[in-house]
Every structure is written in structure tokens, then in C-alpha cells.
Amino acid sequence: MSYKREALEIAVPILIVIALYAGFALYMGNWSPFMVVMSGSMVPALRVGWIIIVKSVPAAQIRVGNIIVYHSTDPEIPDPIVHRVIKVNYINGTLYFLTKGDANPINDAQAGFEPANGIPQARVIGKVVYVIPYLGYVVLFLKQPPVYIMLVALLVAFIVADFVSDTTHRKEREGEQADSQPKRAIPCVLISFFSNCVRSLEVEAQT
């Protein structure tokens, strides 16, 4: 029963966190609403290590001056790009957003990140709606391989130590309960043996 209780104590908070994250992600319309700024191309508006919260919005709601997150059309750039919209083009029923990093001397089309007309609306992940300064440094630090391996090792060690400690305490409690129980078998035999001996001595003494 204790194992089940401990499993529930661990699982319930995890499930609550997952449920809260899933609910927030659904509200934002994006399963990755939290992102960390990885470059200085948007200084001073955004700096490396800052966390941005991205919300999926209809393309028609994106305006010039908004900061958006999008997937580049360049296959060699796998990570999303976070830049500001400087122009909106409407071509054959599709919106295109020409973007540029605030700190960059050229726009993203000139840099080869997107077509000349801008990034098509289908490749836009969402719009930056909130910024959390500096907190992303923690995420970047934890993502370093040595730190990640160390944290995993510490977590495994903690789980093993907790399991061993719980097992030891359980055995000690069982031992204490066993010691508190009267041991009837051996004492009864010894009492019977000594009583018989006393009786035989009394008989011998009387004879």
C-alpha cells in the first residue's frame, strides 16, 4: 500500500503540471508557447536568455511592428526565427510577412531566410505576446549536456536513495513488530523441560 501511496504522491503533482501546461497550450493555440531567445538579432527588444510566450493568431491579425515566430523556408535553418514584421503583402489570397531583426542591417528576405515577398502565413507559428526577461538563462544552463547528465544522475540517485531508505525503515518496523510479539514455542518447551526436571528431583528426594 505504501508503494502505491508514494507513487500517487509523485504522479499527482506531475499530472497537475501536465494538465495546466496542456490547458495553457490550448489557450495559446500552440503546443510550444514558451521559447527562449537564442540570438541577439532582436536587441534591444529581446535579448539572449529571455523567454517569450507565443500565441497562435489568425494571419489577418498580424500587423506591421508585431514580433512573430516562424519557420524559415531555408532547410538549413531548423530553429524557429523570432523577428519583427516590417511589411505585409497579400498575394493570390495568401498573406506574406516580410520580417527583419531589429539589430540586423538587412531584412530576412535579403538574408535568405524567406522569399522576396516575405514568409507565407502557413509557416508562421505565432505572435509574441509576453516577454519574461532573464529566466531563459536557467533553461539554457540546464540544456548544457554536462549539466543535464548531472541532473539526471542526481534524480536517479535521489530515487534510489529514497527507495532504499523506505525499504530499510519498513524492515526495521517489521523487525520491531516481530520482536514485540511473545515467542511462545521455545519458552514453553524450556518451561516444560525444567518443570519435569524439578518433578523428577522431588520424586528422587522423596524416595
Domain ranges of the chain: 32-142, 145-206
Homologous superfamily of 32-142 = Umud Fragment, subunit A (2.10.109.10)
> Which three cell numbers mark 125?
507559428
Choose, from 56, 74, 108, 192, the residue flagged as catalytic: 108
Q: Is 108 a catalytic residue?
A: yes
Residue 175's pLDDT band (cuts 50, 70, 90): low
> Which three cell numbers mark 202?
522431588
Q: Is 83 a catalytic residue?
A: yes
Q: What are the start-end ranges of the E strands in the chain?
A: 34-36, 51-55, 67-70, 81-91, 94-100, 119-120, 124-132
Choose, from 83, 165, 166, 169, the residue flagged as catalytic: 83
Over range 164-189, report the average pLDDT: 60
Q: pLDDT per residue over 81-132, tens digit each?
A: 999 999 999 999 999 999 999 999 999 999 999 999 999 999 999 999 999 9
Residue 148 has pLDDT above 80, yes or no: no
Q: Residues 120-148, buried b or exposed e (16+ Cβ, 10 A)? A: bbebbbbbbeeeeeeebeeeeeeeeeeee
CB 136 within 8 Å of CB 156: no
Choose, from 32, 39, 41, 195, the residue flagged as catalytic: 41
Q: pLDDT per residue over 29-54, tens digit each?
A: 999 999 999 999 999 999 999 999 99
> Which three cell numbers mark 126?
505565432
* Predicted local distance difference test score (pLDDT) of residue 185: 44
* Predicted local distance difference test score (pLDDT) of residue 180: 57
CB 88 within 8 Å of CB 96: yes
